[in-house]
Amino acid sequence: MGLLAVGFSTALPLIASAPVGATAAPGEPAPELANNCVIDVVGGSNKQAAEYCFPTFTEAIRYATDGAITNAPATAVEGVDDPALNALLGSSGKSDTGASPAPTGALMVIGIEYADRFYRGPSRTFRGFRRCTTPTTDIDYSFNLPRVWWDRISSFKNFANCYTNHYAYSNYVPPATGYLNDRPIMPIINGRNFDNDARSLRFS
């Protein structure tokens, strides 16, 4: 299932997002920054996944859930404590339910990465075709972050039975955090602070 912008006029490819500090022409409204993006991943390594970005978290989650959630908060940090949103996206804790697929080829949210601590700032929402398996001895999804998101992740949340492993370099080259559940602040592992220090991800 490819990413389509049909029905979402505010969807913008990452390369078309307004740059930070952009100003409008005289008499025109200021441009909105498309800082909440959705990325589809499949099993195995994903180096060139399509990415679509939106001015608000509300629009990103509406797109990420194929319209199932239309009233998510406008900002990512508000969504962290939204009980209805978390109930629909699913628990971030591991369970023994296995890697059940999404209904009829749909995509489900597997994780959200944030540029700032405590789930604030620009976000990247990842979607996959099935839940992660319960053990963390396998790899369900892998993704090389684009250069624009190198060394920018400061917090993250998991969904769909997934934990996330953050690697300091592209192509899953360690050092790495190991598979972890939600973190409002990136951890210090073996003396290395992983705040703003990730270039590739694996989900399991």
| Tens of pLDDT, residues 37-50 | 999 987 665 556 77
Query: Per-residue DSSP letters for 79-109?
Result: HHT-HHHHHHH--SS--SS--PBPGGG--EE
Amino acid at 203: F
The predicted pLDDT at position 103 comes to 59
The predicted pLDDT at position 85 comes to 81
- The mean pLDDT value of the chain amounts to 80
Burial level of 177, CB count in 10 A (0-12/13-18/19+)? buried
The predicted pLDDT at position 69 comes to 87
More confident residue, 96 or 116: 116
pLDDT at 92 over 80: no
The predicted pLDDT at position 15 comes to 31
The predicted pLDDT at position 45 comes to 59
Percent of the chain at pLDDT > 70 equals: 75
pLDDT at 21 over 50: no
| Tens of pLDDT, residues 136-168 | 999 999 999 989 899 999 999 999 999 999 999
Pairing state of beta strands 120-128 and 36-40? Answer: parallel
pLDDT at 88 over 50: yes
The predicted pLDDT at position 139 comes to 94
What is the band of 122 on the pLDDT scale with cuts at 50, 70, 90? Answer: very high
DSSP state of 30: P
What is the band of 13 on the pLDDT scale with cuts at 50, 70, 90? Answer: very low
